[in-house]
């Protein structure tokens, strides 16, 4: 943080008591060279990190099925709690359309298997986040809902046509980008509609170009956890370089161990010797700082 790290992410093991979290966040902000994103994955239900503090809530699917008022009330509670603890970024909601019943990772985390229902549920969650000064981040572009494997353990392959992807899975991203979403998380997926060769969408120039050019997205693009097996086969340093060249702005690394800190130094060395990478990093910096200024973090 003293060197300008952009943010930190909390997992369940990092959340033990309200005082501990608030104190830790206060310390991070004091140490940071640039005001950081203080982030968490708090979707409700299966993906919650505050189980030591609060009762577990319903997953997106079941909350949405109980009606929009219930979902709004639950989303408000989640966002208020995060804001009170000191979080300013939530990696939620999932806007995946859960079209594959055998999907091992999305399932009830998706609002629905119908794109328009996903959009409606996501808009409610996003509005509640914004109302409580928590930045929402939609995930997992271009849509993890048709996958039949978990990108934590391997790189899923999605062989849908571009037309099928656009009509089913990309549609929520398109609509929410039109509604000025602040941040988009890119998944580690091999989508053949973008690349016949095996390249995760998180590292794919074609996938990120589609996001920027076809969907007109000008905000911050962040990867899913770079420690996941779905991307690790490319090697951490090479994967980061590929992602920067593709147009990604930020990376998630779940650990700040010596390996990760060494990787940051190695990446800086590579970037400083490459004019293209320097240009891409500067553009990313402007997007990141623009979001932080726009949301009053700076």
Helix (H) / strand (E) element for 275: namely helix 275-294
| Distance in angstroms (rounded) separating the CA atoms of residues 74 and 70 | 6
Q: What is the DSSP letter of 90?
A: E
Over the range 23-34, which residues count as b (16 or more CB within 10 Å of their CB) and which as e? ebbeebbeebeb
Which of the following is catalytic: 224, 249, 269, 274? 224
**Would you call 152 a catalytic residue per the annotation?**
yes
**Would you call 169 a catalytic residue per the annotation?**
no
How many Å separate Cα 145 from the centre of its chain? 15
Which of the following is catalytic: 14, 150, 152, 195? 152
Give me 137's structure tokens: 């981040």
| Beta carbons of 44 and 66 less than 8 angstroms apart | no
**Residue 261 neighbours by CB under 8 Å, 6+ apart:** none
Supply the residues annotated as catalytic. Answer: 152, 224
């Amino acid at each position: 943080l003293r060197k300008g790290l952009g943010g930190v992410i909390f997992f369940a093991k990092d959340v033990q008591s309200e005082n501990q979290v608030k104190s830790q966040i206060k310390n991070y902000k004091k140490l940071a060279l640039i005001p950081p994103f203080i982030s968490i994955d708090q979707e409700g239900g299966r993906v919650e990190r505050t189980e030591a503090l609060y009762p577990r809530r319903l997953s997106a699917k079941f909350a949405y099925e109980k009606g929009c008022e219930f979902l709004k009330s639950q989303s408000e509670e989640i966002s208020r709690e995060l804001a009170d603890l000191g979080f300013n970024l939530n990696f939620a909601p999932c806007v995946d359309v859960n079209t594959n019943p055998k999907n091992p990772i999305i399932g009830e985390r998706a609002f629905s298997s119908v794109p328009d229902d996903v959009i409606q549920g996501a808009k409610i969650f996003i509005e509640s986040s914004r109302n409580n000064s928590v930045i929402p981040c939609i995930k997992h572009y271009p849509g993890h809902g048709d996958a039949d494997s978990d990108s934590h353990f391997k790189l899923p392959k999605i062989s849908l046509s571009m037309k099928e992807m656009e009509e089913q899975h990309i549609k929520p991203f398109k609509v929410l980008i039109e509604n000025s979403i602040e941040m988009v998380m890119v998944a580690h997926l091999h989508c053949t509609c973008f690349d016949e060769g095996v390249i995760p969408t998180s590292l794919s120039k074609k996938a990120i170009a589609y996001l920027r050019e076809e969907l007109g997205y000008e905000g911050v693009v962040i990867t899913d956890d770079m420690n996941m097996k779905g991307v690790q086969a490319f090697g951490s340093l090479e994967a980061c370089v590929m992602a920067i060249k593709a147009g990604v702005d930020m990376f998630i690394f779940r650990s700040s161990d010596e390996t990760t800190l060494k990787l940051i130094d190695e990446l800086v060395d590579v970037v400083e010797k490459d004019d293209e990478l320097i240009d891409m990093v500067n553009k990313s910096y402007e997007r990141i700082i623009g979001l932080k200024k726009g949301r009053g973090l700076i």
